[in-house]
A and B are shown apart, each in its own frame.
Chain A
Amino acid sequence: MQALTIISAVNDALITEMRRDPSIVTFGEDVGQEGGVFRATVNIQEEFGEQRCFDTPLAESAIVGTAIGMAVAGLKPVVEIQFSGFVYPAFNQIISHVARLRNRTRGALTLPMVIRMPFSGGIRAIEHHSESMEALFAHIPGLKVVIPSTPYDTKGLLIAAMRDPDPVLFMEPKRLYRAFKQEVPEEAYTIPIGKARIVEQGDDLTLISYGAQMKETIEAGHQLQSEGTSVELIDLRTIYPWDKETVLKSVKKTGRILVVHEGPRSFGVAAELISTITSEAFEYLEAPPTRLTGSDIIFPLPTAEKHFLLRTEHIVQVAHEVVRYEP
């Protein structure tokens, strides 16, 4: 065992799996010699050489586009997009090719590849470095979207993503990159994509989140527990395909649900979950399924980011409404 942060778990997952699988290559802007602006690929070029870990010119579309070619020819590319805010030049490649190739060739060509990118706000970053746009990607048919919130899950999910037969978009909560350490096994292990994690069991309220927002959500859960509410805390971990079974089972038990995410509200992840819950667990509900999310606004620059971010007390406040609701 080793105590790792989320960022070092990314690095550890890459190294562990690259030792096992010589078809893996990893590249992107500043990924080689520099080891990534967040140090996710540090020491990888030293160990595996420039053919397996390298810098590219500054062009996200070509980073993802060349990864497609490599994957078709049998390599397993794991590309880094420096910040999720700069993935958009590659959006065409992702939506038009990455997500479609298996289907349109009826399985003749497949794309085992991973696109890693840091996302989320709260680090007083400059423009375009704070958004949480996971819903955009989750909406694309043919794409898996994974978001860890702990070092242990990061390693297991990233290795699972590298072993997945289909493309995985791996979004890393950069606010938590170095927030805390956790014991992580040194050997390779996987955590199944598509499975949520029940962080804590409870009976009165289901509280769901993922990624960076998990931290405040867990804190809020604990506060509610100290007030006598029994909270079931769930980390969704995979945005698509999301773990309907775990979520529905929990809601059927508690009858009350609050979904929390930092990304914008309209057409977001919470909307999808709540829509499903409403139609498939309707008779179990004791309160309106509720969401607490970012607003439909441009993520503000640092002096106002406090007005966008969801704090623990905000979650508690809304959870109270859900718990105290009487029809």
Chain B
Amino acid sequence: MFEKFDPRKGKRFQLLNEDGILSAEARKYPMMTDDELLHAFKTMILAREADDWAVSLNRQGRMPTYPPVKGQEANSIGSIMALRQDDWFVQAFRELGGLLIRGVPLSQHYLYFLGNEWGSHYDIDRFHITPISVPIGSQMPHAVGLAYAERYKGNDRVTIAFIGDGGTSTGDFHEAMNFAGVWNSSLIFYVQNNQYAISVQRKKQTASPTIAEKAFAYGFEGVQIDGNDLFAVYAATKLAAEKARKNKGPTLIEGFTYRMGAHTTADDPSRYRDEEEVQQWAQKDPLLRIQKYLIKNKLIQSGEIETLRKEARKTARDAFEEAENYSDESLDNIYRYTFKDMPPILEEQLEKRRILEGEED
């Protein structure tokens, strides 16, 4: 399906170039409607503003450690747009845009990073999503299991699983790829190759020229795409999903992208990368690119953009306030959710803790 874009031949799939010009080929591929495109664009603006707001709140001491997504938004937005709402979405932790596309309230995402377990309490039947996975790579086998279960139940739901370039060095990633190949899983592995794992450059993670080509060794297709190109992300994911839905096997998509911000708010990227490089990638900003396209094609007027940004800023502020006003997690709850029924030995520990905290009753 992606024969024309074999990563082993140095090919990368791109439809919208850095100037916002769509290739003549684009119409041959699945495309979003104009309305969908506008929705994706607005979501990208919201993700960007939400991200910036979280980072600035961190500086004010109101937000603990937060991992910005800036520059990578097209990857999760385009791919989640290309899937059905009931397709499984297995997160790593840099998929804010995709979460918003699913309809997850921004306040919930903030709540997680504010340090409250309710931030991971997703409405599963609505969002079909698994929680953020901090131990890098560990979520990948889960995705293979989800895909197995859906096929077992006779459903045509597919699964998408996200991971970073660093994550592709983990055993779990390779074991999951191998299982998926053997089981012919209805699965999309989406690698957000943002060029760094904290300070470690992509070339230090793997000696292979691309991550995408690893798929072939596991018996299925891989494709490297321009991850800052919303059109390419959407089209590649749509094709991979159609293939998966027909039980024609998994696909590895490597979104070639860039983390424009720090690894997390605790990180200082100037220690390991040049400002020049950051500036070069700023030219490829997925948001600017889609904006250029929309303006050129008169889908939006340049004057409207500032309004959208302002609205997004307000949405982000409101969402954060909502999350901040959520009550802190309680003493009881940190015990209660350990098991369905609290064993007496734990009950006793909770009782002792209450006494320690002066909560005797």
A residues within 8 Å of B by Cβ?
29-30, 33-35, 37, 55, 57-59, 61-62, 85-86, 88-89, 124-129, 265-266, 295-298, 300-305, 307-308, 314, 317-318
Contacts and interface: CB of A to CB of B under 8 A. Distances in A.
B136 A86 contact: yes
A86 B135 contact: yes
A317 B355 CA distance: 10
Interface of B: 64-65, 112-117, 119, 132, 134-137, 166-167, 169-172, 197-200, 204-206, 266-267, 271-272, 328-331, 333-335, 338, 345-346, 349-350, 353, 356-357
A266 B334 contact: no
A133 to B, nearest CB: 14
A303 B345 contact: no
30 contacts: A34-B272, A37-B198, A55-B204, A57-B166, A57-B169, A57-B205, A58-B170, A58-B197, A59-B171, A61-B171, A86-B136, A89-B137, A128-B134, A265-B349, A266-B345, A295-B335, A295-B350, A297-B338, A297-B346, A298-B334, A300-B329, A301-B112, A301-B116, A302-B114, A302-B116, A303-B114, A303-B116, A304-B117, A307-B331, A308-B334
B199 A34 contact: yes
A303 B115 contact: yes
A296 B342 CA distance: 11
B195 to A, nearest CB: 14
Contacts of A89: 135, 137, 170-172
Contacts of B64: 124-126, 302
Contacts of A265: 349
B338 A298 contact: yes
A85 B136 CA distance: 11
Contact of B199 (A33, A59, A308): A33
A302 B199 CA distance: 26
A298 B331 CA distance: 12
Contacts of B135: 85-86, 88-89, 128
Contacts of B329: 300-301, 303-304, 307
A301 B331 CA distance: 12
A185 B169 CA distance: 40
Contacts of A30: 198-200
Contacts of A303: 114-116, 328-329
A140 to B, nearest CB: 20
A267 to B, nearest CB: 12
A30 B199 CA distance: 6
